[in-house]
Amino acid sequence: MKLYCLSGHPTLPCNVLKFKSTTIMLDCGLDTSSALYFLPLPLVHSPRLSKLPGWVSKDGTVNLEKRELLDLSTVDVILISNYHCMMALPYITEHTGFSGTVYATEPTFQIGRLLMEELVTFMERVPKAHGTSYIDAVDVWSWKRCYNMQEVNSALSKVQLVGYSQKVELFGAVQVTPLSSGYSLGSSNWIIQSHYEKVSYVSGSSLLTTHPQPMDQSSLKNSDVLILTGLTQIPTANPDGMLGEFCSNLAMTIRAGGNVLVPCYSSGVIYDLLECLYQFMDSANLGTTPFYFISPVANSSLEFSQIFAEWLCQNKQSKVYLPEPPFPHAELIQTNKLKHYPSIHGEFSSEFRQPCVVFTGHPSLRFGDVVHFMELWGKSSLNTIIFTEPDFSYLDALAPYQPLAMKCVYCPIDTRLNFHQVSKFLKEVQPLHVVCPEQYTQPPPSQSHRADLMLELQPPPMAYRRCSVLGLPFRRRYERIHLLPELAKSLVPSEIKPGVSVATVSAVLQSKDNKHVLQPVPKPVPVPPSKKRKRLMEEVPDLLSPKPLLSGAVPLEAFLASLHKSGITEVKVEETADGHILHLQAEDALIQLEEDATHIVCDNNEPLRTALRDLVLRFLQKL
């Protein structure tokens, strides 16, 4: 069993597991942080941005070494854990010869489609003179132009929807099962198991009580190998504390007459932010402040969150049967406190009023409607931009807009497992081996003294890095084989010790679709040879009966007494580490009695050897 690691980003993983005869890709995250190496793409020409020099990375290069680690056309299936980890799917399914199946839950599929549609729209609506944005795809080690909707639709046509705890058989070799991970709508951990081996894939999980179904931990117990990825990117930040800071900074800005800009994804944390503001706005006298959600998929995102009731936590599920909308943003929309628009053009231009709060993308500040608001509000110190997504360095994101007068607040909200929660979780599920990115085995470079910000396990976890191949530390020892009923009837079990019976079997092993069946040995049908072909035809040899298997032990004292009765009296016994050696001095013979074998050494005296063999067989049981 081998694990190929194609991504160096621990929260946007892309690994390939070779298990038995299947090749399984675990997630295909797209690292869009490379967008920070480019200038922002405004919807209209910006004289200020156009005069800026090209943006380069701190290392001076963004090209990655091309390495042929794995032929992706050999991948049989792709398992998706959440919608953030499927953004590179079109690059894999459309450009590598992939012909397999992608498995994901329905919310992951639908919201992932929205995020890809939003990304494509952001890129395609930019004037062509500026449309030079590239994104680094984790699967090909090179710069790639953003995919289009035709490629997105083709990639999504290969997705097969699954539900939590649904068992899916892959080619008869292994079985995969998605489990709730508690992180986002439809997010999953995966169990990959055969009859005797179990691998758990834990990616992007949360133990906090938010809107998704809680994490299923019990099904992950007793794994041979647990692959751990997608821990929190901000281990020192408490999500509840960040929510409080977000609300207080927002209220402070609105009271001062300023506007608040929240760069965010169109699904995920925004649902929790809107719910938090719903509870906070009246007490903070923000009841008349308009909230705008601007995204090409804003309407679909808000609607999908309300209809996936079975994927929500129990508290929100119960509201559906009252009936009430599970999320309060439905009431905000009905009362016109929250308005959503596909872009800044059209209705938004006529209905826009300030001061206000705007939720829009993209969090990198390199494309999307957020670029327009940065140009519009960046020169006033009354306005505030609040970063809630932890995927990007906010200082790098703001760099092309400097000098900037508007206030900047960093409130990263990441509900995924932190190191303390992971340590407790691993003690409960008790895997034999843990595999994780190397970033989790050492403290962050900026806080090298914090030993609590790393995984300390016994035995130590196996760490991987980008472009590495790990041999997972267990071997397959057993395989399940089925007996046909007619063959089972012919077995004659013999009890070798209380409660344990053994039977010999002669059969033909048939293997098909990774299933193994023992069938009775076919009897050859005698065919009378013709006179012309008598010399050419080969006769089918008779099948010989197998030699009987022997069970038991030869007791020394009883065997010596048996030799004495047979007239062999001069016996010298020598004790060895494995048993005893009996020297028959008069007969010039030797008998070695060991735990699992008996050897008779007798030169040129076949009658004596046969007699000694028969004496030994008296003490053994034939199977």
From residue 110, alpha-carbon distances to 36, 43, 84, 186, 560 in Å are 27, 27, 12, 10, 80
Q: Helix (H, G, I), strand (E, B), or coil: what is residue 429?
A: helix
C-alpha to C-alpha distance for 394 and 405, rounded to whole angstroms: 15
- pLDDT given for residue 230 in this prediction: 93
Q: Which residues contact 90 (CB under 8 A, 6 or more apart)?
A: 116, 147, 151, 152, 154, 155
Both tokens assigned to 453? 């910000």
Query: Could you tell me the end-to-end alpha-carbon distance of the chain, in angstroms, rounded to an integer?
Result: 36
- pLDDT given for residue 378 in this prediction: 92
- pLDDT given for residue 59 in this prediction: 38
- pLDDT given for residue 241 in this prediction: 92
Considering only CA atoms, which of 131, 168, 135, 134 is closest in space to residue 29? 135
C-alpha to C-alpha distance for 192 and 195, rounded to whole angstroms: 10
Two domains, one topology: 239-410 and 550-622: no
C-alpha to C-alpha distance for 337 and 350, rounded to whole angstroms: 16
Are 55 and 39 in contact, with CB atoms under 8 Å apart? Answer: yes
3-state secondary structure 61-113: CCCCCCCCCCCHHHCCEEECCCHHHHCCHHHHHHHCCCCCEEEECHHHHHHHH
- pLDDT given for residue 32 in this prediction: 86
- Please tell me the CATH superfamily of domain 2-40+66-232+416-471, with its number: Ribonuclease Z/Hydroxyacylglutathione hydrolase-like (3.60.15.10)
3-state secondary structure 388-424: CCCCCCHHHHHHHHCCCCCEEEECCCCCCCCHHHHHH
Considering only CA atoms, which of 586, 593, 585 is closest in space to residue 615? 593
Give the residues across from 481 on adjacent strands: 516
Give the residues across from 293 on adjacent strands: 340, 359
Are 365 and 398 in contact, with CB atoms under 8 Å apart? Answer: yes
CATH class, 239-410 region: alpha beta
Tokens 């071997």 belong to 475
Give the residues across from 439 on adjacent strands: none
Q: Is the peptide bond before 362 cis (omega within 30 degrees of 0)?
A: yes
- pLDDT given for residue 531 in this prediction: 53
- pLDDT given for residue 527 in this prediction: 64
DSSP per residue over 292-325, as a string? EEE-TTHHHHHHHHHH-GGGB-HHHHHHHTTT--
CATH class, 550-622 region: alpha beta
C-alpha to C-alpha distance for 595 and 531, rounded to whole angstroms: 57
- pLDDT given for residue 196 in this prediction: 87
User: Buried b / exposed e across 371-386, counting CB within 10 Å, b at 16+?
Assistant: bbbbbebbeeebbbbb
DSSP 374: H
pTM across the whole model: 0.82
- pLDDT given for residue 526 in this prediction: 67
365: left (phi over 0), alpha (psi -120 to 50) or beta: left
All residue ranges of the chain with pLDDT < 70 are 53-68, 128-143, 525-546
DSSP 296: T
Both tokens assigned to 315? 């508290």
C-alpha to C-alpha distance for 551 and 503, rounded to whole angstroms: 11
C-alpha to C-alpha distance for 133 and 130, rounded to whole angstroms: 8
- pLDDT given for residue 421 in this prediction: 93
Q: Is the peptide bond before 526 cis (omega within 30 degrees of 0)?
A: no
Residue type, 345: H
Q: Helix (H, G, I), strand (E, B), or coil: what is residue 236?
A: coil
- pLDDT given for residue 528 in this prediction: 65
27: left (phi over 0), alpha (psi -120 to 50) or beta: left
Residue type, 157: S
In the chain, what are the domain boundaries? 2-40+66-232+416-471, 239-410, 550-622
